[in-house]
């Protein structure tokens, strides 16, 4: 079993648990190793788990009818990922979620999460706070995509998530930022020339 101190710190930022409560909470999660290029969610199959990343990187994406893939979310250390609509409503997924690196995760299934929420109000508070943070993040992302230029979105990403961009395939980052890989390459080259 690998070190889960990152996950414990994440929990403690949201709620204060007694040692026995923390043990019960952690026991509800399963630790899994996921290989690079392995899918943990695919369309038409119900998302069974909510996934917290201890180590590694993931991408969720959809493919449009014209065959273009659109990155919805990335997840690296200390982030969550799932097809949340599929997971919460136990309906078939519409997204792919794939590992971009060999990864180590903590996962909880839907039924166990519901049991935790009923068993202890602190556990319910933890999931509520996590959901609120996620909702706020997605709202900021939508507003940014509607109001910022492509270059501003790229610069914001680099500033907000330093070190993450280098871990992502360029086409996936371009897709996330709403541009082509070629356009992202031009932005990167322009930044390099400005520094030189």
Please check the confidence at residue 8 and state whether its pLDDT lies above 70: yes
Helix (H, G, I), strand (E, B) or coil at 39: strand
Q: Is the pLDDT of residue 196 over 70?
A: no
Instruction: Locate 36 and state its tokens.
Output: 């690079």
**Tens digit of each residue's pLDDT (9 = 90 or more) over 9-65:** 999 999 999 999 999 999 999 999 999 999 999 999 999 999 999 999 999 999 999
The domain spans of the chain are: 5-119
- Is it the case that residue 1 has pLDDT exceeding 50? no
Q: By the 8 A CB rule, do 175 and 98 touch?
A: no
Superfamily per CATH, domain 5-119: Jelly Rolls (2.60.120.10)
Tell me which residue of 40, 39, 75, 72 sits closest to 57, measured CA to CA.
75
Q: pLDDT of 103-121, one tens digit each?
A: 999 999 999 999 999 999 9
For 140-181, what is each residue's pLDDT tens digit?
Answer: 999 999 999 999 999 999 999 989 999 999 999 999 999 999
- The span from the CA of 17 to the CA of 123, in Å, is 9
Give, in order, the Cα–Cα distances in Å from 2 to each of 35, 68, 196. 16, 37, 43
**What is the reported pTM?**
0.92
Residues 6+ apart with CB under 8 A from 163: none
């Amino acid at each position: 079993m690998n070190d889960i101190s990152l996950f414990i710190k994440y929990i403690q930022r949201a709620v204060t648990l007694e040692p026995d409560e923390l043990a019960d909470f952690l026991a509800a999660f399963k630790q899994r190793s996921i290989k690079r290029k392995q899918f943990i969610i695919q369309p038409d199959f119900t998302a069974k788990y909510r996934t917290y990343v201890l180590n590694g990187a993931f991408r969720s994406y959809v493919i449009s009818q014209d065959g273009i893939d659109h990155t919805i979310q990335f997840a690296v250390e200390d982030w969550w990922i799932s097809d949340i609509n599929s997971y919460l409503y136990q309906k078939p997924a519409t997204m792919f979620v794939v590992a971009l690196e060999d990864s180590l995760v903590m996962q909880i299934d839907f039924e166990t999460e519901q049991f935790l929420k009923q068993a202890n109000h602190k556990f319910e508070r933890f999931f509520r706070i996590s959901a609120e943070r996620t909702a706020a993040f997605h709202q900021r992302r939508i507003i940014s995509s509607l109001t910022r230029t492509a270059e501003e979105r790229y610069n914001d990403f680099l500033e907000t998530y330093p070190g993450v961009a280098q871990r992502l395939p360029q086409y996936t980052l371009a897709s996330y930022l709403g541009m082509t890989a070629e356009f992202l390459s031009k932005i990167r080259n322009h930044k390099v020339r400005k520094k030189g």
